[in-house]
Chain A
């Protein structure tokens, strides 16, 4: 916040400016909404949440719609990079991307690159976030939609929330949607 006070013009015709500048406040808490379940869209939210914790910022992650795949026991180890309709792969013609096995190849390549950069697989990442004190929440509505039960989610998930609960828990948060 900047407060500027303009004083009366002085005799020399110039005005003196008394300025009080407050430093921007550091971020205290972030709420990250993960709504996509493809491998390339899973990592950004996890990295952002983990980075916040590394800085001592409180972090919560709300998994909704396809983002639920990231915390579903049966799905977490089988996330794929979409090779059709993925704007990040413009060099891949849709017909090629749609061939059998292409998703597997792209996913394998991405996993290899992640490993080289010491970025853990999604399951380990979720464990790491939980150990780091990030709060992990599943979306009630998306669970109903996909007919998922609480027992089908990873044990690190703290709670199943409605969207209203989400906003309550996000008090004072910066909200990031992915």
Chain B
């Protein structure tokens, strides 16, 4: 597994860039992953999504799909695509330090 330097700490990620250990995640790590994926800066709306994803994953045991995020995070579908133009399906989970979502919706 590759190890990358994010915000001064060594973080283990898988081949696709998802954190191997979600507990290694910090807000600084989120910023670093975002920058590496074409998002210049994480704004309040990004943080709403990230906070929801982490809380929901902690409760459900799996990262939420986009429909679930759009219905429960206070950020709607249109906005999700504006926040993560390269594809919110993977990026929302990746920036949140969660594994790749297994759902198709």
Known: A120-B67, A128-B67, A128-B77. A56 touches B105 (CB 8 A): no
Find the residue from A51, A54, A56, A133 having the highest chain B CB count within 10 A. Answer: A54
* A118 surroundings in chain B (CB, below 8 A): 65, 67-68, 103, 105
From B68, B76, B78, B90, give the contact of A54 (CB < 8 A).
Answer: B90
**Contact assessment for A131 and B81 in the assembled complex, using a CB-CB cutoff below 8 Å:** yes
Query: In whole Å, how far is B77's beta carbon from the nearest beta carbon of chain A?
Result: 4
How many B residues, CB 8 Å from partner? 19
Contact of A35 with B by CB under 8 A: no
Which residue of chain B is the closest to A127 with respect to CB atoms? B77
Known: A120-B67, A131-B77, A131-B81. A47 touches B87 (CB 8 A): no
Q: Is the interface of A mostly helix, strand, loop or mixed?
A: loop
A selection of 18 A-B contacts at a CB cut-off of 8 Å is A47-B105, A51-B89, A53-B81, A53-B87, A53-B89, A54-B66, A54-B89, A54-B90, A55-B87, A57-B87, A117-B103, A118-B105, A120-B67, A128-B70, A131-B81, A132-B78, A132-B81, A133-B81
